[in-house]
Amino acid sequence: MRAIHQFHPTLAPGDAVSNHVFALRGLFRSWGHASDAYAVEAKPGTDGVLSYRRLFRTVAKDDLLVLHYSIGHEVFAELAKLDARRVLVYHNVTPPEFFAGINPHAALYAERGVRGLAELASRIDLAIGVSEFNRQELAHAGYASTAVMPVLVDWKAYDAAPDASVLSAWNGTGAKLLFVGRVSPNKRQDDLIRLLAYYRRCIDRDAQLILVGSYRDQPQYIARLEALVTSLELQDAVTFTGSVSFPALLAYYRVASCFVSLSEHEGFGVPLLESMRFRVPIVAFDAGAVGETLDRAGVLISEKDLATTAEAAGLILERPALRDELIAAGERRFADFSYERVSSRTRQVLGL
């Protein structure tokens, strides 16, 4: 059996790309392949990640080298020179314009990511998008051979017990609108805060907004969000959780009344699937791969309108039959991303 090596510049616990890498590592090993994950930086809490430097003396001609791409890095160009079958898995790069005037450092890395993606095209044997939206970007960037292979998620892990302290802290009345994703300008947490202001004034004065996700790398944006919360007098209604443990994440899904997304750029959308898994109805703005991922398993908003989005969420919570219909649609769509189905698709696309 040939070895399958995976690389991403940074691997960290709880990160969507990292979780995909680790899930694939387990899958490849279960198929009898030697398989390891490599990175330039492995954050504390990751298991068994090796230094990327080992790849230069480890990779054999008959091996498979899988490069996961979500940010630009000079190491990609060097790894793409290795004599092996080279596969790129594209998780998408956030367009740099989202960071203009907010985070010049992030804008620079995003620009490097966009430029580096095109520069790699001639060195890659197969380029895979985790969504059709991503695959189209790959084709536009000059990749000759492309395919779609969704993110692999170990859904059995979601059967774990939720954090009891989070459950007890959120057992009060009032709608609990949830969004999960790193705090970033493209995710438009600012629009979600404005939506909550409308929701509390016109639909449910006790409604709460729970924003789950790290904000450490976006100091200017989080400062703007906090100022917006204060200006709208929502200090007691908006919660920024920051990074949370996995049991806490499970608990937030369990207490949520509705998952609401106004993100303007998504390459896939694992939180959408997580919401389906926990029977949480979804209202989302149709941007990037959101509509493709949902596929009629939620309320899709075609034009950005905060009042319309808020009223859609309110209607779902006021009409149990509608809520049940959306949850059932979510369960059907969720089955398309089962571990077994995505594993089969992975084997097919990679030719294993």
Task: Write down the pLDDT at residue 76.
Answer: 96
pLDDT digits (tens, 9 = 90+) for 206-235: 999 999 999 888 999 999 999 999 999 999
Same-domain check for residues 202 and 299: yes
- 302: phi then psi, degrees, rounded to nearest 5: -80, -30
Same-domain check for residues 326 and 182: yes
Same-domain check for residues 51 and 34: yes
Same-domain check for residues 76 and 171: no
pLDDT grade, residue 320 (50/70/90)? very high
Task: Write down the pLDDT at residue 173.
Answer: 86
Same-domain check for residues 74 and 171: no
Same-domain check for residues 146 and 248: no
Residue numbers of the domain that contains 259: 156-335
Mean pLDDT score, 1-25: 92
Same-domain check for residues 165 and 249: yes
Mean pLDDT score, 190-218: 96
CATH code, domain with 91:
3.40.50.2000
Helices (H), the chain: 16-30, 55-58, 74-79, 104-120, 132-140, 164-169, 189-202, 219-231, 246-255, 270-277, 290-294, 306-318, 320-335, 339-350
Same-domain check for residues 141 and 241: no
The DSSP line for 225-275 is HHHHHHHTT-TTTEEEEES--HHHHHHHHHH-SEEEE--S--SS-HHHHHH
Full-model pTM: 0.94
Share the mean pLDDT of the chain. Answer: 95
* Structure-block tokens of residue 183: 């705090």
Task: Write down the pLDDT at residue 266.
Answer: 95
* Structure-block tokens of residue 318: 């006021």
Same-domain check for residues 123 and 234: no
Same-domain check for residues 177 and 202: yes
Task: Write down the pLDDT at residue 118.
Answer: 95
Task: Write down the pLDDT at residue 47.
Answer: 86
Enter the DSSP assignment of 84: S
Total tally of structural domains belonging to the chain: 2
Cα gap 216→222, rounded to integer Å: 9
Say whether pLDDT at 254 is over 70.
yes
pLDDT digits (tens, 9 = 90+) for 151-179: 999 999 999 999 999 999 998 889 999 99
Share of the chain above pLDDT 70, in %: 100
Mean pLDDT score, 66-70: 97
Q: How far is CA 36 from the centre of its chain?
A: 22
Same-domain check for residues 310 and 342: no
Say whether pLDDT at 14 is over 90.
no
* Structure-block tokens of residue 29: 């090993």
Higher-pLDDT residue of 1 and 280 is 280
Are 38 and 55 within 8 A, CB to CB?
Answer: yes
Same-domain check for residues 291 and 345: no
Task: Write down the pLDDT at residue 120.
Answer: 96
* Structure-block tokens of residue 115: 């430029």
Q: How far is CA 227 from the centre of its chain?
A: 26
- 64-69, strands of its sheet edge to edge: 49-51, 35-39, 4-7, 64-69, 85-90, 126-129, 146-148
68 beta partners: 89
Task: Write down the pLDDT at residue 13.
Answer: 86
Say whether pLDDT at 1 is over 80.
no
Mean pLDDT score, 317-325: 96
